[in-house]
Amino acid sequence: MNRINQKLQEDKKLLSIYFTAGYPNINDTTTIIKSLEKNGVDMIEIGLPFSDPLADGPTIQASSTQALKNGMTSDLLFEQLKAIRESVSIPLIIMGYFNPMLQYGVEAFCKKCEEVGIDGLIIPDLPVDVYNDDYKAIFEKHGLINVFLITPQTSNERIRYIDSVSNGFIYMVSSASVTGSSSGFGDEQTNYFKRIADMNLKNPQIVGFGISDHETFSQATQYGRGAIIGSAFIKHLTENGIGDLSGFVSAIRNNP
């Protein structure tokens, strides 16, 4: 069974952390992964930096720009991760845009993911129909779960189609804005979370965008299976470095 599906069976609210590979420094990638697992994070999204990240807010864009300046590439990321499964057992997901994967070759990229122990991909600009028609067989051949995003504007019909194609979890974007641009959730977002929960989809939902502290993690996980934190963690790395990540994780889990 894929590690993502194994993790989703656990009786707890899941905390997933996103960070950009090669940031703050080019060789920080595996150190951050190991430290996050040690401090109780359930899943990790490894951001593959891209020059035109449409869904990312300024914090993650800046980290991508720096990571690219540092020299991060797909090949280097796979090289860094080649021994990661000797010490890390939680699900690892690569989040990136489709263009670099197309340039690499979709089959070759998926094969590399399988070799290093990646469990899934999140590709915001790969439409579910295109994936289903052209790439699903390749992903499944290499044991990869593809995670799709829904927003408050996604129609129920589209959500049910995404649910039918998915085999892991659905990334429930909390708002229509880019990452890192929200502070707290209002009634509109809470009603959206409840509406999706009431649809009784076969795939659980994990909430992303706007999760930054214990309060927003608790709000997001009231209806969702877990929550994803990206911009707030990147800010932590920018301000504090990678030395001690335990304080950040414990503040999310337990109200400081």
Distance CA 42, CA 11 (A): 12
Annotated catalytic residue within 28, 37, 42, 56: 56
Structure tokens at 75: 């090949």
State yes or no: is 134 an active-site residue: no
56 is catalytic: yes
DSSP H or E run through 51: none
Radius of gyration of the chain (CA): 17
Active-site entry in 42, 45, 119, 163 = 45
- Catalytic positions, please? 45, 56
